[in-house]
Structure formats: C-alpha cells, structure tokens
Amino acid sequence: MRISSIFIFFLVVALYGCKSDKNGVREIVEEDLIGEWVIFYATRNGKMTKSLEEGNFVFQDDNLVSSNLFNSSNSLNFTYDKGTINIEGDSLMSYLKVKKLKNDTLVLSSKMKVFEMEFYLSRQ
C-alpha cells in the first residue's frame, strides 16, 4: 500500500512538472528554436512553391537570427513572445508565427510583401 502511494505521488509530481497548455501540448519556448532550420516545403498563398526550398533560418542563443530569405546577409535581432518571432531590421519579413513544433519539424507562417507564406522546416 505504501509503495503504491509513493508511486502515485511521484506520478502526479511528474505530470504537473511538464509545462503544457490545455491540449496537453508542451509550450514552445525560445530555447526550442535555437539552431539551424532548413525549409523542405513551403506554400505561398496556400499553394506549394519550390522557390523557397533550401531556404534557412539560423537562430542563435544571443537573440540573433540569420536567413538566406532576408534582404540583408547580416544577422538580425529577434524576440520571441507567445508564439511570435519578431525580427528587427528586415523590410521583407518582420515576424514569423510559430504554428507547430514537433520533434525536429517546425512550421512557421509569415507575410512577405503581399504573400501569405508557410514554411515547413527541419532541424539540421
């Protein structure tokens, strides 16, 4: 009896220790984004586009991001808050919405000029 009570206690503590939203999905934090991500699939206004394949984003832990999709080849400052990556200093892309992160696959959306973009990326 005592062993099962201890087991149940540790199970409850472990379940409460996992940060998750109401759907049981772990909340995405800035540290989850750090690394190099390569686009393997992209849509423009809901239709597949091959022009952005091999595009990439490199998020650094010092809040810098670089991408071959930016107007500048320089690394730019970024902030992450509640599912939105805000990018400072790029006129083409000022934000990215994090739609999903599962294992090594990240789905982002943004607006580039007049186009609604969606990027499917894999971690390198």
Q: pTM for the full model? A: 0.76
State the pLDDT at residue 1: 58
DSSP class of 26? B
Using the CB atoms, write b or e for 68-95: b if 16+ within 10 Å.
ebbeeeebbebebeeeebebeebeebee
Domains in the chain: boundaries = 28-123
Task: Give the pairing of strands 76-81 and 64-67.
Answer: antiparallel
Instruction: Give residue 53's pLDDT.
Output: 80
Q: What pLDDT score does 107 carry?
A: 97
DSSP state of 20: B
CATH number of 28-123: 2.40.128.20
Cα gap 80→86, rounded to integer Å? 6
Taking only the tens of pLDDT, the chain with its 124 residues reads 566 555 454 444 444 554 444 444 578 999 999 999 999 999 999 999 998 888 999 999 999 999 999 888 889 999 999 999 999 998 888 999 999 999 999 999 999 889 999 999 999 9
> What gap in Å lies between CA 121 and CA 54, rounded to an integer?
9
